[in-house]
Amino acid sequence: AESYHDLILALFFFMAVMMMIIPLPTVVVDIIIAINISTALLLLMLSIYIKNPLELTSFPTILLITTLMRLSLSVSTTRLILLHHDAGDIIYSFGNFVVGGNIVVGLVIFTIITIVQFMVITKGAERVAEVSARFSLDGMPGKQMSIDGDMRAGVIDPLEAKVLRSRVQKESQFYGSMDGAMKFVKGDAIAGIIIVLVNLFGGVLIGMWQFDMPFSEALSLFSVLSVGDA
């Protein structure tokens, strides 16, 4: 089972690297975006409804994989936006929905959403994961001593003590992994902001110089695509 797990991980990483290198058609990009959104919603539902973090110990690994796939997808969509000023129907439709026909208002709203996502949600989640990992690690010796004390007092038998020790160790590993995964997610958020700026300003310049678009048309088109990509 472990070998299959490692093989699946290696396959995902290989796919992510290939997505960064090989140009993808817009139809394939639309399909991958739909899968990505569905996976994100599924993870959200799972994280809300599980009662104990140990019910989904693979969550940090899944978070890393999905974040890497999102980064690879962003590289693919950026290539399509800058080369063909078209990144598929989903990105254009979503960008058009957010912008709402007014480029200035749409960009202002998008900027506010981006700031809230990065400054409040991402940094807050990173801090929560960091504190949880620290408290879990600091409290680990005390929990182990408490389990040993209960076993010596006859409250629990050696088998129960072994199970409890394993649980404490898994909790510590889980929170440590989440701390590392959230740092990766923070880096993804920063990369996402940079990609938006590249799509917007680079796209406007390329649209004017290579595709002979008027400034207003280039700004309108690449604003919608940049917002939709983000």
pLDDT tens digit string along 142-158?
A: 777 777 777 777 777 77
Domain total in the chain: 1
Supply the pLDDT for residue 20. Answer: 79
Residues 24, 188: Cα–Cα separation, whole Å: 21
Q: What pLDDT, on the 0 to 100 scale, is given for residue 29?
A: 82
Residue 159: the pLDDT is 80
Structural domain that includes position 150: 2-229
Chain center to CA of 4: 24
pLDDT at 59: 77
Give me the average pLDDT of each 10-residue run along the chain (230 residues): 67 79 82 84 81 74 82 84 78 78 76 79 76 75 76 75 79 78 79 83 83 79 76
pLDDT of residue 3: 59
> According to the model, what pLDDT value does residue 2 have?
53
First-to-last alpha carbon distance for the chain, in angstroms, is 36
Beta carbons within 8 Å of 224's beta carbon, 6+ residues apart: 92, 95, 96, 99, 103, 106
pLDDT at 4: 67
Nearest one of 124, 149, 138 to 171, comparing CA atoms: 138
Q: Which amino acid is at 51?
A: K
The answer to whether 69 and 18 have CB atoms below 8 angstroms apart is no
